[in-house]
Amino acid sequence: MKRRFSFLFFIIVIVCLLLPERLAAQLPDLRVLEAEHFLELLVQGRYDEAASRFDSVVAARLPAVMLQQVWESLQQQVGRFEKYEHFTVTRSDPYFSVRLTLRFAKGVLLDLKLVYDDRDRITGIFFLPAKQQPYQLPDYADTSAFHREPLKVRTGRYVLHGELTTPAGPLIYPVVVMVQGSGPADMDETIGPNRIFRDIAYGLSSHGIAVIRYNKRTYEYAGRLDPDSLTVWEETIDDAVSAVRLAKAIPGASGVFLLGHSLGAYLAPRIATKVPGLSGLVLMAGNTRPLPRLILDQMEYLYSLDTLTAEERARLDTLRKKVERVLKGDFDTTTPAADLPLGIPARYWLDLRNYDPVATAQSLELPMLIMQGGRDYQVTTFDFNEWKHALSHRNNVDFRMYRNLDHLFLPGEGKSRPSDYLIPSHVPEKVILDIAEWIKTVPSKK
């Protein structure tokens, strides 16, 4: 039976989220053997046995039937599993992680990362880009034109590692704070072999603009966060506010801009209400539709890429009912996460229930640049047109459409598919130049 590998599967699979890593010596461990046996069970189609290794949280959110869907969907997109090449281990007490590097028929290398607790139960399962894929600088990144230095974004007891890039020439410059999309994301917004935010940061700093980017809290502190109490405030907003305040204190900062991608763009107007004095917003692939509706539309698109089976139709119907439940507000904090879209707990959805990104943006007087890829199936031209309908009458709001770019603002042809994200590429220079030139024109727009 055919399955599809959705980018959303990262949200479904990463039930424990990424743990901070500390490289350990390559010492033999029984959990390495257990991880190799887990892979063997996947390859042999013994999904019930594989799922029996999960702890109670993962077992509830990733039952055997869903584990089968993920494994088969993955091979549908990257080719049949060919071989297991080697392992690496990482310790972050009380957790122990094993990464098995897997090769697939289409030449794609992925790491199966299994996180074990102190009882040797699997408390996290991930399919990640293999670590040995180095980043190649895009041609437009002139490293002699800017300086790089580490920084830390602090919000209460949370400290997030990041990087500040500043122009080497001018002493006065605008500063951009970058906010990633959903899920645990590093400062580069690494997806597959691509590092979207590093492309943009180095490109902008090559044109005289400073940039702050940082790891998301769900990336650095995932193993220590309570998923049942998590909302977009803990996931994104609080740390973005801290980063903007940090940017304002940088000597030489002539103004601070907030650049959000995907979920970051969706939340950017809400973030802006908490930090007065921003110079402007850059929204890249920001949805106007409610997040539950967006998830359903994405899944319907992915299933439409091939003939819909009875089993897949049943899954869609189940998801549709969960989405409608959230949209109608027919739930509260006691509603089990399993009864809600993607198994995300109720508090997350309750916090977003009354949030309207368009209405919030309309209430702001800030200059805005709204950008959209024409091949984006996750956030579509429908959302882009909604932004235009609401804001095009304002002379300080600009719009850019890129017909051949996808959700990651990477080039491609034909229908966009999740497997496109695994193809090494760079954000085109045209996107970088449009952002840089717009930022430099903002004083006149004010």
Domain-wise residue ranges, the chain: 9-129, 143-285+356-445, 292-349
Active site residue 389: no
- Say yes or no to pLDDT of 433 above 70: yes
Burial of 403 (0-12, 13-18, 19+ CB in 10 A): exposed
Shared fold status for 9-129 and 143-285+356-445: no
Q: Are 19 and 92 in contact (CB under 8 A)?
A: yes
Spatial distance between the Cα atoms of 356 and 188, rounded to a whole number of angstroms: 28
Q: Which of 407, 419, 420, 425 is catalytic?
A: 407
- Say yes or no to pLDDT of 16 above 50: no
Q: What percent of the chain has pLDDT over 70?
A: 92
pLDDT value at residue 89: 83
Q: Which of 262, 279, 419, 425 is catalytic?
A: 262
pLDDT value at residue 250: 95
Averaged confidence pLDDT in the chain: 89
Give the CATH fold of the 9-129 domain.
Nuclear Transport Factor 2; Chain: A, (3.10.450)
pLDDT value at residue 6: 36
Rounded to two decimals, the pTM is 0.77
Q: Identify which has the larger pLDDT, 211 or 94.
A: 211
pLDDT, tens digit, 9 for 90 and up, residues 307-344: 888 888 898 999 999 999 999 999 999 999 989 998 88
Instruction: Find the mean pLDDT for residues 209-222.
Output: 93
pLDDT value at residue 420: 84
Instruction: Find the mean pLDDT for residues 213-234.
Output: 90
- Say yes or no to pLDDT of 200 above 80: yes
Active site residue 376: yes
Give the CATH fold of the 143-285+356-445 domain.
Rossmann fold (3.40.50)
Distance between start and end Cα atoms, the chain: 57
- Say yes or no to pLDDT of 259 above 70: yes
pLDDT, tens digit, 9 for 90 and up, residues 105-139: 877 889 999 999 888 899 999 988 787 567 889 99
Active site residue 229: no
Q: Which residues neighbour 384 within 8 Å (Cβ) at sequence distance 6 or greater?
A: 370, 372, 399, 401
- Say yes or no to pLDDT of 186 above 60: yes
pLDDT value at residue 305: 84
